[in-house]
Amino acid sequence: MKKWIAKQQAKASLMKVFRNGEIGINYSYSSNSGFVYPKILSIRFNYSEKSLSYFFSLPTGMDPKVIKKKEYCFKQVFGERIELKGDAKKFTLIVFTAHIPKITPYDAKRFKEQAKKMKLPIVCGVDMNGQDVVYDMVENPHLLISGETGSGKSTQLRSILSSLIEYISPDRLKMFLCDLKRSEFPIFRGVDHVEGVFVKPADMLPMLNYLREETIKRGDLLDAHVVAHIDDLPNPPHYIVLCIDEFALLKKEKKIWDLVEEISSIGRALGIYLILSVLRPDRNILDGVLKNNLTVRMGFSALI
């Protein structure tokens, strides 16, 4: 009985969104007219993940783009922590109810169990369920981190690099760090994994030319052994991570920009990966080719 009551209350909340947001279509047939709302198909409680999922379908003739346009209506009723996904007809609304702390202390040991299953683990933080999130950069190459000043993107960048150093031995990973602000990467100088910290475009260019030569060597190895990825080689070379903070400051450095773009296009199979940090990744900063190759994006905003 309690579960039935809970579902009825949940159903009423979603119907409130549909009615107040006028989400549906008008109909007129003969002397009859009215408004048809989406149909709620089912409601499921996930107690382990502390979430509530709604499944609903749109009336025929309703533009599915309306759901995205009126996402604010769902947030006004259910809060900010929701996920809306669907196609032309059926949609799913997931409401997350788990408590999320404002600050998640970084601890490499905390993520170790997940990380040891991956070749190049990238620690993200926690998801909307409060569950730890780690992904493998080998499977999802190249990372873009963006956010306004003071939003925490540089802190996240240092956490990612620190976790890579913690989890991967220096004989399996080499890192090239570019710190145009000269303030983010001094702590990594002298670390075995770090081949160099570069603070000027003039110093970066020889390093990028070296990496380009490395892509040619590795490509030749793949051709010689008829394999598609360096991990399939008999003696695979180490992974390489090129990290550039405030990448937008290099916009006028065409040679550097072109080399980074080339790495983004061919680096995946060669074990060479990018981590780029920018203030705003709009089309004036990142063009389509480079942005499309950055398969994972992290966005940050300053706390109000």
Question: Whose structure tokens read 């000269």?
Answer: 182
What confidence category does residue 86 fall into, taking pLDDT thresholds of 50, 70 and 90? very high
Alpha carbons 108 and 100: distance in angstroms, whole number: 19
pLDDT, one tens digit per residue, over 177-191 is 998 887 778 889 999
201-225 helix and 254-270 helix, angle to the nearest 10 degrees: 30
Q: What is the pLDDT of residue 110?
A: 79
Rounded CA gap, 58 and 36, in Å? 9
pLDDT exceeds cutoff 70 at 206: yes
Token duo for residue 170:
């220096």
Residue 278's H or E segment, with its range, is strand 272-278
Q: Assign domain 108-300 to its CATH architecture.
A: 3-Layer(aba) Sandwich (3.40)
Under DSSP, the state recorded for 24 is S
Q: What are phi and psi of 74, to 5 degrees?
A: -65, -40
Answer with the residue of higher pLDDT: 12 or 300. Answer: 12
Q: List the domain boundaries for the chain.
A: 2-96, 108-300
- Tell the burial category of 87 from Cβ atoms under 10 Å away from its Cβ (0-12, 13-18, 19+): exposed
Question: What pTM did the predictor assign?
Answer: 0.74
